[in-house]
Amino acid sequence: MLKHCTLCPRDCGVDRTSGELGFCGADDTIRIGLASLHKWEEPCLSGTNGAGTVFFCHCSLRCVFCQNHDISGHAAAEAGIATDISGLADTFLSLEQQGAHNIDLVTPTQYAYHLSHAIPLARSRGLSIPIIYNCGGYESVETLRMLDGMIDIYLPDFKYFSSYYAQRYSSAPDYYDVAVEAIEEMVRQTDIPVMDADGFLRSGTIIRHLMLPGLSGDTAQVLRCISSHWGSRVLVSLMRQFTPCTDLTGYPELERRLTDAEYEDACFLMDMLGLEGWTQDAESISESFIPHFDGSGVCHD
């Protein structure tokens, strides 16, 4: 798979084993920006101890507002800490030993092949907590099927309805069609959300939508799409935490935060559509929620 990589919808076809880099910027070496307990996911994931987040370097999207820009894209070629499949499995086990409620794989698409080996290896070494696939929603159905049975919880973004905004802000004009097909596969695999007696999600799909300033109409279309396609088969996390933290020269419309009115209108629509899930209060709007990617917590030789 890495000799002719088509793990994401870009279908670059590059030979990552020889050092060729596709759109995501990853070669065949696993690189991780941070592995740590993270308490700022949805309540049913973070709980009291935190989710065991593994922030992978590189990404198949080019979001101009990306909070994780330090470890994404070609500019982050040497970012993070390098490890292998065995080291990745041990990283999962270390997080569980620290009290993580789950293993939260953040931006994992470019390492899906490695994960298809690391997850069973970690299970064979005693990993017992759920695995979360926390992604941008821009996923290949074939890659998701390769992971069928290994992922307990899917946590995809659903960023855009409009192809114009998808191209302008993430260089992915086909985002909507790709995301709908991908989320359909995720829901097929996980079925309806299942909570345990302590309020932790054990399996299911949570769709996240990060609202962008000025895009209330696009948000409304996304919410209506979720309602019509999946309804009660998914949970929805409507996020207001957009914070201008990158150089947005050329995108002046994004150089502000969301207004209370924009968010409240979206919350009203979400409720009207009968979508279950979470909304955020104003305290979520802070750069302090962005991790420091120092490579800590990664197991390697």
Q: Which CATH number characterizes residue 65's domain?
A: 3.20.20.70
Residue 3 is assigned to a structural domain of this protein: no
Question: What is the residue type of 47?
Answer: G
DSSP state of 286: -
Contacts (Cβ under 8 Å, ≥6 apart) of 249: none
- Number of helices and strands (H, E) in the chain? 8, 10
Q: Is residue 253 part of a domain?
A: yes
Q: Which two tokens stand for residue 176?
A: 């909507």
Structure tokens at 251: 């995108």
Number of domains composing the chain = 1
- The residues with which 78 forms a beta bridge, in sequence order, are none
CA 295 from chain centre, in angstroms, equals 19
Asked whether residue 233 is assigned to any structural domain, the reply reads yes
pLDDT of residue 243: 87
Residue with tokens 């917590």: 297
Is 11 inside any structural domain? no
Dihedrals φ, ψ of 185, to 5°?
A: -70, -40
In a structure prediction context, what are the per-residue pLDDT tens digits for the chain, which is 301 residues long? 999 999 999 999 999 999 999 999 999 999 999 999 998 899 999 999 999 999 999 999 999 999 887 888 656 667 789 999 999 999 999 999 999 999 999 999 999 999 999 999 999 999 999 999 999 999 999 999 999 999 999 999 999 999 999 999 999 999 999 999 999 999 999 999 999 999 999 999 999 999 999 999 999 999 999 999 999 999 999 999 898 877 888 999 999 999 999 999 999 999 999 999 999 887 665 555 677 787 889 988 6
What is residue 283's predicted lDDT score, i.e. its pLDDT? Answer: 65
Which tokens hold the place of 46?
């973070």
Question: What token pair was written down for 218?
Answer: 């696009």
d(CA 280, CA 263): 9
Residue 295: inside a domain: no
If you compute the radius of gyration of the chain from its CA atoms, what whole number of angstroms results?
A: 18
pLDDT at 291: 76
* Domain-located, residue 143: yes
In a domain, 294, yes or no: no
* Owning domain of residue 130: 16-289
Is there a domain that residue 275 lies in? yes
Beta strands in the chain (DSSP E): 30-38, 51-56, 81-83, 103-106, 131-135, 153-156, 194-195, 201-210, 235-239, 277-278
Question: What distance lies between CA 194 and its chain's CA centroid?
Answer: 20
Distance CA 7, CA 23 (A): 11
